[in-house]
């Protein structure tokens, strides 16, 4: 099901009993976080919140804030317009399975073709609701402006009389007490590869610096950062368009670990069963979804010195300390008249992003299986905040197969960030952490069954000695085979005789 606006999605959550409307004034400074964090910590992720009267520095904001809208399996399914996330994943899996690929490159091509099968290609339209209110400067001159810019708004661009593309009107959260400022936490950032023209949409948080400038937190290994490097090498200013809201599948697609070059709007169109309609930016040569709630256009000047971004209370559960990142200068802000401002907070898990990341894993499990047919299931438990801890179950048929999976996954896209990787047999439920820990402890000899390796690390990981570089630990908790140096017999797992179970069920009911 396609949603015409984020407000329509929020109304759907309301009808499904998944929303609490909050009418009291709640401050965007810390108070919304406290309210949302309590909800996110409830079993199953609590409910979404629509803060109808948020305040910014004590003043009422013109836009309401929606938060925790993706924070449960049910809400993720509602966002996808599917009966469940598993059903959506099974449908994509069936499309991909139609013709098994012979290489990774072919697998990616196949994924792209599978997405297009539902006529999900984005299409251009002339205008859309995201332009109901337009605030813009004149397009900035192409030449690189000196740094620092003149005091006030924008780096050397002249303002149109009476209209300022300022972020001040948006209810942007200050999430945690030691945060370096306010952060836009669900921004979908559109950039293009200057060589190929290929588009990317990634979710990279943005710290508000001044009324019309922010940080641009694309991490070193992400596609936005690669586009920025190419613009710097070519000595070109980099146009960037950021949108918020619209159909919820847009934000989900921005977070999905798609291979570089696969269009996120294609994935969003596939999932919402309707092409994403795109409109040209007012001041940048980039397209944004016509049904977005808010659009922020601007540029990054690759020759401008980087600026400290952070601290920020992060999804690691700790603050990430200040690090240098590019500055984004705003040239236009456009929005719907009745826009809803979508936000999230990250912090000590479980949080809303667990369900976004989890849905990605479920959706892309068929892609992993294409390359590694022995994989049965994959889970990223909430305690591992995405990549810190990954559980994989496999159908093991030959010695050292668990190690093949470790090497393979560490070499696959954003799985490269995985710190601890536990491989178990197919009969272990990877979504049940207790079950995995039991088999891990029972089935391993630490000296024999561990693999220490090194590789790229999540730049948010404060425990690595160097940023972006870290160790990896693979744990083989599968049943050992003779070829793996195991010379004894493997004992059977304790299981009750099914006939006894049936008799006890009949006597005392199914609960035992
Ligand atoms: C709520 C949320 C916030 C995120 N913030 C960032 C961020 O600030 N920087 C970043 O590089 N990735 C961030 N991510 C992860 C990226 O969105 C994710 O890795 C995505 O696949 C990147 O897209 P890309 O591969 O097109 O670069 C965030 C994810 C979520 C769910």
Which residues of the chain are under the pLDDT cut of 50?
139-140, 142-162, 512
pLDDT at 367: 86
pLDDT at 143: 45
Atom of ligand 1 at shortest range from CA of 256: 21
247 is catalytic: no
Atom of ligand 1 at shortest range from CA of 360: 21
Please list the alpha-helical segments (H only) found in 63-128: 73-80, 85-97, 104-116
Please state the pTM of the whole predicted model: 0.92
91-99, Cβ contacts within 8 angstroms, sequence gap of 24 or more: 92/270, 92/363, 92/366, 93/365, 93/366, 93/369, 96/366, 96/367, 96/370, 97/366
- Count of all residues that appear for the chain in the document: 512
Check pocket membership of 353 for ligand 1, CB cut-off 6 A: yes
pLDDT at 149: 35
Check pocket membership of 359 for ligand 1, CB cut-off 6 A: no
Walk me through the domains of the chain, giving residue ranges and CATH numbers: 6-78 (no CATH), 120-343 (2.30.110.10), 372-484 (3.40.1670.10)
Whole-number Å distance, alpha carbon 374 to ligand 1 midpoint, is 29
Question: What Å distances lie between residue 488 and 7, 23, 450, CA to CA?
Answer: 62, 66, 19
Q: What angle do CA 158, 160, 165 make, to 5 degrees?
A: 90
Pocket test for ligand 1, best of 202, 257, 353 (most atoms within 8 A of CB): 202
Whole-number Å distance, alpha carbon 224 to ligand 1 midpoint, is 10
Atom of ligand 1 at shortest range from CA of 219: 11
The HSE-up count of residue 240 (CA atoms within 13 Å, CB side) is 34
pLDDT at 114: 74
In b/e form, how buried is each residue of 134-166, taking b as 16+ CB within 10 angstroms? bbbbebbeeeebeeebeeebbbebebeeeebbe
Tracing tokens 């496999």 back to the chain, one arrives at: 394
pLDDT at 113: 76
Q: How far is CA 78 from the centre of its chain?
A: 17
Whole-number Å distance, alpha carbon 39 to ligand 1 midpoint, is 23
pLDDT at 510: 72
> pLDDT per residue over 176-230, tens digit each?
999 999 999 999 999 999 999 999 999 999 999 999 999 999 999 999 999 999 9
Whole-number Å distance, alpha carbon 202 to ligand 1 midpoint, is 6
pLDDT at 101: 61
Q: What angle do CA 46, 49, 52 make, to 5 degrees?
A: 165
């Amino acid at each position: 099901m396609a949603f015409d606006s984020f407000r329509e999605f929020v109304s759907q959550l309301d009808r499904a009993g998944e929303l609490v409307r909050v009418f009291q004034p709640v401050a965007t400074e810390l108070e919304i976080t406290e309210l949302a964090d309590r909800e996110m910590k409830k079993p199953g992720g609590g409910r979404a919140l629509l803060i109808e009267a948020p305040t910014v520095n004590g003043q009422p904001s013109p836009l309401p804030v929606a938060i925790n809208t993706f924070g449960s399996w049910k809400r993720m399914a509602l966002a996808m317009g599917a009966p469940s996330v598993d059903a959506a994943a099974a449908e994509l899996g069936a499309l991909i399975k139609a013709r098994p690929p012979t290489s990774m490159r072919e697998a990616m091509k196949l994924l792209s073709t599978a997405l297009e099968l539902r006529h999900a290609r984005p299409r251009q339209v002339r205008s859309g609701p995201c332009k109901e209110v337009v605030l813009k400067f004149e397009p900035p001159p192409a030449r690189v402006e000196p740094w620092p810019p003149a005091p006030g708004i924008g780096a050397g661009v002249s303002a149109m009389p009476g209209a300022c593309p300022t972020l001040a009107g948006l209810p942007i959260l200050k999430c945690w007490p030691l945060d370096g400022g306010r952060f836009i936490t669900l921004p979908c950032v559109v950039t293009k590869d200057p060589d190929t023209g290929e588009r990317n949409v990634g979710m990279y948080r943005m710290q508000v610096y001044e009324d019309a400038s922010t940080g641009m937190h694309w991490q070193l290994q992400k596609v936005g950062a690669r586009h920025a490097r190419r613009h710097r090498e070519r000595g070109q200013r980099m146009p960037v368009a950021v949108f918020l809201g619209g159909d919820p599948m847009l934000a989900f697609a921005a977070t999905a670990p798609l291979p570089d070059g696969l269009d996120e709007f294609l994935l969003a169109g596939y999932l919402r069963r309707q092409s994403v309609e795109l409109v040209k930016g007012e001041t940048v040569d980039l397209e944004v979804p016509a049904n977005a709630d808010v659009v922020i256009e601007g540029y990054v000047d690759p020759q401008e010195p980087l600026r400290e971004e952070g601290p920020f209370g992060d999804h690691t559960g700790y603050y990430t300390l200040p690090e240098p990142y590019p500055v984004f200068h705003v040239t236009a802000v456009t929005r719907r008249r009745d826009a809803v401002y979508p936000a999230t907070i990250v912090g000590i898990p479980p949080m809303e992003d667990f369900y976004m990341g989890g849905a990605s894993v479920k959706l892309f499990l068929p892609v992993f299986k294409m390359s590694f047919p022995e994989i049965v299931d994959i889970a990223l438990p909430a305690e591992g905040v995405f990549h810190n801890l990954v559980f994989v179950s496999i159908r093991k048929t030959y010695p050292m197969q668990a190690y093949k999976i470790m090497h393979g996954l560490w070499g696959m896209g954003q799985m490269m960030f995985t710190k601890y990787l536990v491989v178990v047999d197919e009969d272990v439920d990877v979504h049940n952490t207790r079950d995995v820990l039991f088999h891990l402890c029972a089935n391993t000899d630490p000296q024999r069954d561990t693999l220490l390796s090194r590789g790229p690390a999540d730049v948010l990981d404060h425990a690595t000695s160097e940023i972006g570089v870290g160790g990896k630990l693979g744990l083989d908790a599968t049943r050992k085979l003779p070829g793996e140096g195991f010379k004894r017999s493997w004992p059977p797992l304790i299981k009750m005789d099914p006939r006894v179970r049936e008799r006890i069920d009949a006597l005392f009911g199914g609960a035992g």
